[in-house]
Chain A
């Protein structure tokens, strides 16, 4: 299979777009990504809470140190949070905080 990191955009000719439809393409959809971060954070929060931890303290500990030991393996939370890059997670948190202030 031919896999290309193509980003269809307005500067790409229509013919070119049609041709590329035969190939596997990777789309980077920002809103879905943000939703996924939110879902993961909520899932991790719930897992930590169910295990009796202070979720905010544990998530902050993870963000500071990068050590997955902060996050319980309950409900697959540890594996979920490791799917996100910490810098992207922090960026999203800061963006969200500033947008709601």
Chain B
């Protein structure tokens, strides 16, 4: 992945073509869902991310085998020997709680450390647990761990109080091997849910309605291995669009599904960019001067919370004031402090931030506080005068495949040290 710091000399408009990798938020649940299969699965052209390495370690700790052949990742879960996701693992990566659904389905038992608050908010797993209980799972909690057991999962009608992506995925995986039909209402509609359903259906599952508010899952007795290529990463694509926009660039992205980026494209057009959609490509031509525009983060198909930090970086260079309302997570403005160090004028009031632009961004020593905050700092640094050093880059490596090399390829002066 490279050194611990990213060094950027700003001021170069991005020009050229970037190929977008497979989606982090799709590949992680797909890797976990491979636990449902009694024969090996092949994930074609999987993204090379730190989080992918970690989830593979999680699966190895359960007794599954994972290995790479070229760019393809193989997962063989024909034998599972353990049913526990330890505190160390869950703290390292919250997505490891997704093993609950497949382990309950395959083994009838799982013990996981209850995730505490993370950098961007509390994110409780109550919705996952309530759904499992409805499917016939008994829960007990002690010493920070949840132990879940069942004599056999059964289909249930589950209404989610909030369209949680993680809960929808966990319950879909459990229901895929449950007895009877499960209906998840008020389900998350993110494209990554559709991708997971596609994967499970390729293994022999029967999931209908993914991508809508109501998902119906008919349980089957066995799932078997398949080949699958995950969808392109809409957040990676959106981040590069922001980078092009802030540098006055002229950039083409390959391997994108434009429909997944509608709210991001709409905002970029509103602030003055020209976007042209081709077959699996997006071209952005940035204006000399960006206009300010407000956003409010919402569950899909609204503006994604995972793009809020990058958009805030963009607005520091726009003419006028913009209001950024974060409605999904309660503590996701930590990047604002680092952007201020670079000269941004940002005021936070509860879950809203006001950015007064245009600011004269200047290079500084800054720190990534989470994955998307790190991306926002990269974007700001690309437009800043002088030299920026970004530390805590392991956050960026969690979700961006080969970021420095991709940006170098379109003219950015960026290195790892």
Contacts and interface: CB of A to CB of B under 8 A. Distances in A.
Interface SS, A side: helix
Given A58-B198, A65-B209, 6 more contacts: A52-B226, A64-B212, A67-B259, A68-B257, A73-B280, A76-B279
A92 B259 CA distance: 23
Contacts of A58: 198, 201
A49 B370 CA distance: 41
A52 B227 contact: yes
Interface stretch (B189-197, B325-333, B398-406): B189-197
Contacts of B195: 69
B257 A70 contact: no
Contacts of A64: 209, 211-212
Interface size class of A (residues with CB under 8 A): 10 to 19
A63 to B, nearest CB: 11
A27 B290 CA distance: 40
A70 B9 CA distance: 41
A70 B280 contact: no
Interface in A23-74: 52-54, 57-58, 60-61, 64-70, 73
Interface of A: 52-54, 57-58, 60-61, 64-70, 73, 76, 78-79, 82
A73 B257 CA distance: 10
A66 B279 CA distance: 17
Contact of A65 (B189, B226, B227): B189
A79 B189 CA distance: 21
Contact of B194 (A57, A69, A78, A82): A69
B211 A70 contact: yes
B209 A69 contact: no
A82 to B, nearest CB: 7
A69 B198 CA distance: 8
B181 to A, nearest CB: 15
Interface string B217-258: 000000000110001000000000000000000000000010
A2 to B, nearest CB: 25
A65 B190 CA distance: 10
Contact of B198 (A53, A73, A76, A78): A53
B173 interface: no
